[in-house]
Every structure is written in C-alpha cells, then in structure tokens.
C-alpha cells in the first residue's frame, strides 16, 4: 500500500495557545498475516504570512513515523515511533482487547503508554511520559 496526501492538524485555539501545521506526506506499508508495518514521511508547509505559531514543531515531533501493528486473534498491539533521527521524537505503545471475548468487535479495553515529544500540539516542545487506561 502506498499513498501521498495533504493534511492539516490544529488544536482549534487562538493565539497564544494556537498550534497548527499543514503538511504533505508520503506513506508506504506492507501487511503479512497478523502483522502490518507502515512508514510515513511528512514535509511541513510553511506559513505564507510569516505568523507561524510553532516553527520548530518538526524538530520536536519529527518528520518520520514508523507504525507496527500486530493483531493475533482478538487482541491488537501497536507501536508508533516518530523521529527526525535526533534525540527528540516519541514512542507510543497501544494495546486493546475485547471486554467480552465472545464479541471481539464490541466494546474493548484500551491501554496506551507514551514517552517523548508531540503527544499534544499545545505541548509539542515538552517531553512527556504518560500512561492511559
């Protein structure tokens, strides 16, 4: 699988809390059985009016994403690594499992661990570590 696209992401706030970015991206991926792997490269589109509210976003969040997804049976485990191949970036791990094993497409338990930069747009330049259930 491969694709090229254009994306916009914003936190919907006004200055000084506004954070947004526009980007072109190219994605490629492969799938084999229970395992899927995708890679994405983002090219940031600079603000034309010179009022960029987060010009160093990709220095922290990264330009490259690598996602590995493993789905054995009704469980799903994924790992997302964002990097620009410096000391910054992030790693996110997600696990989901059905609440009722007889209905794997129904309500699911979900856990997420995150460490690095860019978990939220407002705090993209602060290192964070979080665990969510």
> Hey, is 44 helix, strand or coil?
strand
Question: Within the chain, what is the greatest distance between any pair of CA atoms?
Answer: 55
Average pLDDT, the chain: 92
pLDDT of residue 47: 79
- Give the active site residue among 8, 48, 78, 130: 8
Instruction: Tell me, yes or no, if 48 is annotated catalytic.
Output: no
d(CA 66, CA 49): 32
* Per-residue pLDDT reduced to its tens digit, 57-77: 889 989 999 999 999 989 999
pLDDT at 50 over 80: no
Q: Backbone phi, then psi, for 56, in 5-degree steps?
A: -100, 20
Active-site residue, selected from the candidate residues 2, 10, 120, 130: 10
As a whole number, mean pLDDT of residues 88-98 equals: 96
130: annotated active-site residue: no
Least confident of 46-50, 107-111, 128-132: 46-50
Which pTM value belongs to this model?
Answer: 0.89
Q: At 54, is the pLDDT very low, low, confident or very high (cuts 50, 70, 90)?
A: confident
Relative to beta strand 108-116, strand 76-83 is unpaired
Mean pLDDT of 39-43: 96
The residue ranking higher by pLDDT, 26 or 51, is 26
Measured CA to CA, the distance from residue 66 to residue 34 in angstroms comes to: 17
Residue 12 region, left (φ>0) first, then alpha (ψ -120 to 50), else beta? left
């Amino acid at each position: 699988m491969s694709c090229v696209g254009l994306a916009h992401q914003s936190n919907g706030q006004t200055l000084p809390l506004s954070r947004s970015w526009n980007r072109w991206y190219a994605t490629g991926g492969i799938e084999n059985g229970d395992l899927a792997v995708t890679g994405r490269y983002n090219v940031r589109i600079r603000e034309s009016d010179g009022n960029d509210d987060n010009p160093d976003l990709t220095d922290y969040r990264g330009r490259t994403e690598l996602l590995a997804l493993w789905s054995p049976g009704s469980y799903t485990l994924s790992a997302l690594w964002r990097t620009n191949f410096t000391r910054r970036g992030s790693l996110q791990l997600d696990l989901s499992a059905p609440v009722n094993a007889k209905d794997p497409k129904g309500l699911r338990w979900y856990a997420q661990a995150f460490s690095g930069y860019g978990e939220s747009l407002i705090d993209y330049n602060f290192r964070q570590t979080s665990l969510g259930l």
